[in-house]
Amino acid sequence: MSRTRQRVLIVGAGFAGYRAARMLTRVARRSADVTLLNPTDYFLYLPLLPQVAAGTLEPRRVTVSLSGTLPHARLVLGEAEGVDLDARTVSYRDPEGGHGTLEYDRLVLAVGSVNKLLPVPGVAEHAHGFRGMPEALYLRDHVTRQIELAATARTPEECRARSTFVVVGAGYTGTEVAAQGQLLTDALVRKQPLRQGIRPRWMLLDIAPRVLPELDERLSRTSDGVLRKRGVEVRTKTSVKEATADGVLLDDGEFVDTRTLVWCVGVRPDPLVSGLGRPLERGRLLVDPYLNVPGHPDVFACGDAAAVPDLEKPGQYTPMTAQHAWRQGRVAGLNVAASLGYGERRSYRHKDLGFTVDLGGVEAAANPLGIHLSGPPAGAVTRGYHLAAMPGNRIRVAADWLLDAVLPRQAVQLGLVRSWSVPLDTAAPELARVPDSAPDKHHGGTP
């Protein structure tokens, strides 16, 4: 077959897109020009983002340079705005507002997911998600600021409200945010004590009957026990009825005074795929077991935005998890290479290797290869897994963990990300919004 160089365009550099690019540049480098379109110049290792918000890890530790680790791929900074399957083009907007178009011979859509919204009054205005670096940096500053303001509050009521933190959604993200956040606020009040008798209050809410409802019940019980032992109020079968600037109204009628509402109820596929005019499954682009979009052999999709048939569970689709996205990215890369004459294409199959939940400090819950672990052993397995899975920065991450174990955390707020720059309703959580001019509308104008 012809060996003219083919243009391969990968949209998105999350777990799926990054892995696809890495595989392609290794397998088909001689005949493919690989272009990666992404809003940022880094791959974000999302599972460690709660540790950034808690001050355990510095932000750059969980970001891996795309140009540094994918030297044979061309990086184009921009947000994809539309895909023309007939013309084989992708239109995008660059970081400075300019527009461009990229042509392709093969396309890999790995655009990922965004915050899931529910029609709850006030949530879009007063809650913040946890899908990108700007949101983690905002939460870290915001929690620090609330403790500092609570320490000098004029009334006990204000002190309690500012030191109360509500997390909605007890899945992976919400559970880890609550666990890490509780450790952060305990460290903060050791330096800036609150009024006598007042301690930081963390609440974790979920409509499900238990935390981590998607995981094994033993992992759920372990995580629940650790949270409750630390004083986190875990409330299952509970949801938010309304959110205001002064607190949240629960569906049982209780009003909780708070200045912090973290929305971790789940994710939805990136809205880009809904504009393709192709069949969807709950907002995800339907693909075949080879990750091809039916009717378009030149188009592949993987990760959270793709509905991939689960061959281990006929009739179902693989869940939206980082594990699946990482593995699907590899298969997508191999199948694109196969379409260029390198190797044989393969269907996506998986076997669960277990799950890990980092609960901060030495606590964790894990079941590697079906073996249930808790406490320090689970913590060691969890950190070892993350170090092995990260495509870079391993030494820096390990060094931060070591320093956190022997040194106190730096309790400062940098004020770099304001509330209005990380809205809950956004198609690009990896980017902080930068309007022409906007005062902070959240909680009295503080940054």
Q: What CA–CA distance (Å, rounded) separates 223 from 179?
A: 9
* Residue 46 DSSP label: G
| Two structure tokens written together for 81 | 């705005």
Q: What CA–CA distance (Å, rounded) separates 88 from 299?
A: 9
| Two structure tokens written together for 73 | 């791929």
Alpha carbon 420 to its chain centroid, in Å, reads 19
Which residues partner with 63 through β-bridges? Answer: 44
What Å distances lie between residue 92 and 11, 37, 67, 187, 233, CA to CA?
A: 10, 9, 19, 44, 44
- Alpha carbon dihedral 394, 52, 20, 386, in 10-degree steps, equals 50
- The answer to whether the CB of 345 falls within 8 A of the CB of 290 is yes
Q: How many CB atoms lie within 10 A of CB 2?
A: 8
Determine the residue type at 353: L
Q: What CA–CA distance (Å, rounded) separates 447 from 443?
A: 9
Burial of 137-170, coded b for 16+ CB within 10 Å and e otherwise, reads bbbbbbbbbbbbbbbebeeeebbbbbbbbbbbbb
pLDDT of 434? 78
Backbone CA torsion sign across 263, 267, 268, 272: positive
Q: What CA–CA distance (Å, rounded) separates 32 from 28?
A: 6
pLDDT of 445? 41
pLDDT of 287? 98
pLDDT of 440? 44
Helix 15-27 to helix 322-339 angle, to the nearest 10 degrees?
A: 30
Q: Rg of the chain over CA atoms, in angstroms?
A: 22
Q: What CA–CA distance (Å, rounded) separates 308 from 86?
A: 23
Q: What CA–CA distance (Å, rounded) separates 337 from 334?
A: 5
* Residue 154 DSSP label: S
- For the chain, residues with pLDDT lower than 70 are 1-3, 435-447
pLDDT of 255? 98
**Distance in Å from the first CA to the final CA of the chain:** 59
| Two structure tokens written together for 422 | 């990380």
Segment 351-401, tens digit of pLDDT: 887 889 999 999 999 999 889 999 999 999 999 999 999 999 999 999 999
Helix 172-191 to helix 217-230 angle, to the nearest 10 degrees?
A: 20
